[in-house]
């Protein structure tokens, strides 16, 4: 598939690829090869191939979902340099 230089410039801009005028020819060539490969892949017959959902045949074991708290209020506030009314006191940042 052949691309026009304007299309290459547009693709480069959209993909944020910084390239000069001297690089456009090489980029055009590379993009054309990629599009040709995609066209080739479109022609592959995959009707008889089952879709792959998961590569691994291993099953994931589920653990029991138990909610529990490991920190008490006292444990958490023990690390606070300054606390007031069971809250952390932080410096004022907005006037």
Average pLDDT value for residue range 1-26 = 89
Look up the pTM and report it. Answer: 0.49
95 has a pLDDT exceeding 80: no
Mean confidence (pLDDT) of the chain: 88
Mean pLDDT of the 62-88 span? 88
What pLDDT sits at residue 87?
Answer: 92
Tell me: pLDDT of 58 over 90: no
- Position 2 scores a pLDDT of 83
Question: How many CB atoms within 10 Å of residue 27?
Answer: 17
């Amino acid at each position: 598939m052949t691309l026009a230089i304007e299309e290459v410039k547009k693709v480069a801009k959209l993909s944020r690829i910084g390239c000069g005028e001297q690089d456009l020819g090489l980029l055009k060539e590379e993009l054309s090869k990629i599009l040709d490969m995609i066209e080739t892949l479109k022609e592959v017959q995959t009707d008889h191939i089952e879709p792959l959902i998961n590569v691994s045949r291993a099953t994931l074991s589920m653990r029991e979902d138990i909610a529990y708290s490991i920190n008490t209020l006292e444990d958490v506030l023990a690390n606070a340099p300054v606390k007031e009314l069971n809250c952390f006191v932080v410096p004022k940042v907005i006037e």
